[in-house]
Amino acid sequence: MSKEKKMRLTLPEEELVGSGNLACQGCGANLALRYVLKAFGKRTAICIPACCWAVIDGAFPHSCLGIPVYHCAFETAASTATGVKAGLEMVGDTETQVIAWAGDGGTFDIGIQALSGTAERNDDILYVCYDNEAYMNTGIQRSSATPLGAWTTTTPVKFPKDRPKKDIDAIMAAHRIPYQATASIAYPEDLYKKALKAKNTRGTKFIHIYAPCPTGWKSRPEDTVKLARLAVQTCLFPLYEVEHGEKYTLNIKVQNKKPIEEYIKLQGRYRHLKPEAAAAIQEGIDRDWERLLKKVNAG
């Protein structure tokens, strides 16, 4: 017998996202769904509203996914998923899990009412927001998930985004749903674990996945994972879980916060940024991080 070491996979091998789909090079959203479906498996139905994934999946009559897909209206990911779950149960399928899979525009902006309704009723679905911080599918227009100081086609360099990103996770926590988490495509094992936890929790689950977009961020496709990791290491996008809106758990405990410049300099959307504007971004990150630590310590 040879003493060759067998490679141990940290994630299931099964792929439910087909290759050769319509994602851009270096698409973070593509990785996000790959990892989530590794946890959820084949007995899953997904509702996709208008967002990048409405295109990535492929045009009629094609689909790159190995699960049933319902392409729904922009603001209806949550309400459609609620209906699908109810419908499946009424035709005798209590096993299939339902995912609403929306971008940040479909979640933070146009779909927030339906999402709030679903969460308040605690309907048994997983809602995932893959966040690339603007309306990327329509050509990089600002959303309420676009961060302070960023360029988009509707926040030109002469007047970049002048308000901070909406705190969607705090809004979801206010709904006291059984489980919610932030996750990142740079931490696949953490993301997988969270998806699995969501799969085994009944009621409304919400996972907010940080998904860099080279096309919209004017970054290099090969930097997608690096950027997502830097977002965590700078504490711009901390990874944590919340149970019932109260119990906060920090998953990656960052000891030495990296300066935000390291993250900013890799992206064309911040090229116009003056040093004082970058300092304001750093201040915002520090303040939000302290606020989060308080919640974690209180739990």
Partner 1 sequence: MKKVIMGNHALSYGAMLSRSQVISAYPITPQTQVVELLSEMCADGTLQAKFIKVESEHSAMASCIGASVAGARTFTATSAQGLALMHEMLHWASGGRLPIVMGNINRAMAPGWSIWTDQNDSLSQRDTGWMQFYCSSNQEVLDTTIQAFKIAETAGIPAMVVLDAFALSHTYEVVDIPDQAKVDAFLPSYKPYARLTPDAPCAFDGLTGPEHYFELRYKLQKDMEKVPALFNETSREFEKIFGRRLEAVEPYLCDDAEIILVTSGTAGFTARVAVDEMRKDGIKVGNLRIRMFRPFPFDDVRRLLAKVPKIAVLDRNISYGYHGIFCQEVKSALNGSGSKSPVFGFIAGLGGRDITVASFREVVDITRGQSTPAEEINWIGVKK
Interacting residues with partner 1 (CB under 8 A): 42-45, 47, 54-55, 57-63, 65-73, 75-76, 78-91, 93, 96, 113-114, 116-117, 120-121, 123
Determine phi and psi for 146, rounding to 5 degrees: -70, 130
DSSP 84-125: HHHHHHHTT--S-EEEEEEEHIIIIITTHHHHHHHHHHT-S-
Q: Over the range 123-160, which residues count as b (16 or more CB within 10 Å of their CB) and which as e?
A: bbbbbbbbbbbbbbbeebbbbbbbbbbbbbeebeeeeb
CB nearer partner 1, residue 122 or residue 233: 122
Q: Looking at beta carbons only, is 88 or 250 nearer to partner 1?
A: 88
Cβ proximity to partner 1: between 84 and 260 the closer is: 84
Distances (CA, A) of 52 to 58, 119, 174, 203, 244: 11, 24, 28, 27, 30
How far apart, in whole angstroms, are the C-alpha atoms of residue 58 and residue 39? 23
For partner 1, which is the closer residue by CB, 88 or 170? 88
Compute the distance between CA of residue 68 and CA of residue 73 in angstroms, rounded to an integer.
17
Bridge partners of residue 196, in order along the sequence: none
- Which of residues 73 and 293 has its CB atom nearest to partner 1 in the complex? 73
Residue 58 Cβ vs partner 1, minimum distance, rounded to whole Å? 7
We find the least distance from the C-beta atom of residue 103 to partner 1, in angstroms, to be: 15
CB of 36 to partner 1, least distance (A): 15
Toward partner 1, which CB reaches closer, 171 or 277?
171
Burial readout 62-85 (b: 16 or more C-beta within 10 A, e: otherwise): eebbebebbebebbbbbbbbbbbb
CB of 176 to partner 1, least distance (A): 16
CB of 143 to partner 1, least distance (A): 20
Between 62 and 253, whose beta carbon lies closer to partner 1? 62
The minimum distance between CB 27 and partner 1, in angstroms, equals 17
Q: How far is the CB of 61 from partner 1 (least distance, A)?
A: 7
Q: Are 120 and 175 in contact, with CB atoms under 8 Å apart?
A: yes
Taking a C-beta distance cutoff of 8 angstroms, is the pair 133, 160 a contact? no
Residue 122 Cβ vs partner 1, minimum distance, rounded to whole Å:
12
Select 23 or 114, whichever has its Cβ closest to partner 1: 114
Q: CA 241 from chain center: how many Å? A: 13
**Signed CA dihedral, 183, 189, 192, 197: sign only:** negative
